[in-house]
Amino acid sequence: MSYPSPFDPFDVVVIGGGPGGYVAAIRAVQLGLKTALIEGRGSLGGTCLNVGCIPSKALLHASERVAQAHHSFADWGIRLGKISVDLAQMMTKKDEVVEGLTSGIELLLAKNKVTYIQGWATLAGEGLVSVAGLDGKSSTVSARNIVIATGSQVTPLPGVEIDEKRILSSTGALSLEKVPNHLVIIGAGVIGLELGSVWQRLGARVTVVEFLNRICPGMDNEIARQFRRTLEGQGLTFRLGQRVVEAKTSGQKVKVTIEPSKGLADGAEAETLTADNLLVAIGRRPFTQALGLETVGIETDKRGTIPVDGGFLTSAPGIFAIGDVIDGPMLAHKAEKEGVAVAEIIAGKSASIDYGTVPGIVYTAPEVANIGFAEQDLKEAGVAYKVGKFPFKANSRARAMGETDGMVKVLAHKETGRILGAHILGKDAGTLIHEVGAIMEFGGSYDDLIHVIHGHPTLNEAVKEAAMAIDKRAIHV
């Protein structure tokens, strides 16, 4: 690899080739800025594409097909012989999906004339970035503007040492060579529930241990309760209000010691769960170590988060940060939006993001999606609101598909009618939520949603009827 001269500065150097970084680099070039992107992983796409959202969705898709073959095909007159799973082939297909997308991003960088530098970057001073190349060579790159987009890493849990063999992070849980008989998961958030669903469908007994007395913190309470019942009906077991004290490998097993989150009562003893594998899924933290932030005077909080202003500028002149390294939900689509915005700001244009319309999605079956405020948030804030609900069992398309689990819930301001939030548990919830998001982005009301003519029969009609239910106008309930 030939390295650019430090005496020929780039307009923009992006550190990190994940969803925020590569999008920022491409948008910067589109705006006429000479741009380089530095990535040390050896493949583009970040955690999301390599060991996160993309491979997990591939396995969710495959495992859902397995579950349907076992449980619902016969209802439609589809008769199969004995069903078997070739896990190695499933993993190969998953890897092919990932490799195709990572190579596609590299082609996009080349097409847009982004200089792609493979190596680990360190801030070396004002406008300077040192690169330890993956080819063993070192260089220094100069830039008028630097964008930090290095993403996040797994949050460790004291007393639990991840070895990616028996005790796993999400990375290891995406590459198991055989289906565990018993999988214990620490954390009932998005990652834990998605991967728990994958392995439960493939035949594992899955136990989810959660510190809180609920699943999916931050999710609308009503939706979360119904979601939990759905997952329990599929076979997942929840141990809520429990904390993991320690986990130790013992031969081919893992011994997981748990106790109530509030501590043991007098005379009570901790409980030990025995599993084939343990998945630690308690969240992620910013990946900001060894970046040389101290060299340029940037301080982080105790989690490693980089403070920025409304234009993504850090405390150091000319250095910006986006994505998982700054405050906000650690979501690829949020990082992508910030990538576009920071490039436009650097180019002298105005850009802003409405974080109130960032959707959150759990890709289980059924899916869960949310946007805006949860009902409990509005109650706590003292906001006057109205609510409408519509069950999928009353939607004709859902019934025709045999996908009647769940509901749509729309929250609107009591006086203005402006949509404040929406929550969907059901088939294709992650797609349906964007209809509400588009209206919210423009400050629209639930009447605006109702006035859109919805095709029939579609799942989207459930969204419309939930809005109609706010004023008791729903037709099909």
Rounded distance, CA 25 to CA 34, Å? 9
Distance CA 153, CA 17 (A): 14
10 Å CB burial of residue 186 (0-12, 13-18, 19+) is buried
Phi, psi of 9 (to 5 degrees): -70, 150
d(CA 405, CA 473): 22
Tell me which of 70, 333, 456, 476 is the catalytic residue. 456
CB 408 within 8 A of CB 422: yes
**Farthest-apart Cα atoms in the chain, separation:** 71
Residues 6+ apart with CB under 8 A from 464: 449, 450, 452, 454
Catalytic residue status for 70: no
**12 vs 31: CA distance, rounded Å:** 11
Which residues on adjacent β-strands are paired with residue 174? none
Tokens of 83: 């069903």
Residues paired with residue 152 on neighbouring β-strands, in sequence order: 286
Instruction: Estimate the share of the chain in helix, then strand, then coil, as percent rounded to the nearest 5.
Output: 35, 25, 40
Q: Which residues of 340-357 are buried (b: 16+ CB within 10 A; e: fewer)?
A: bbbbbbbbeeebeeeeeb
Torsion of CA 330, 335, 336, 337, to 10 degrees: 110
Across-strand partners of 246?
257
Query: Tokens for 334?
Result: 């949020």
Task: Quickly count: other Cβ atoms within 10 Å of residue 385's Cβ.
Answer: 18
Q: Which residues are catalytic?
A: 456
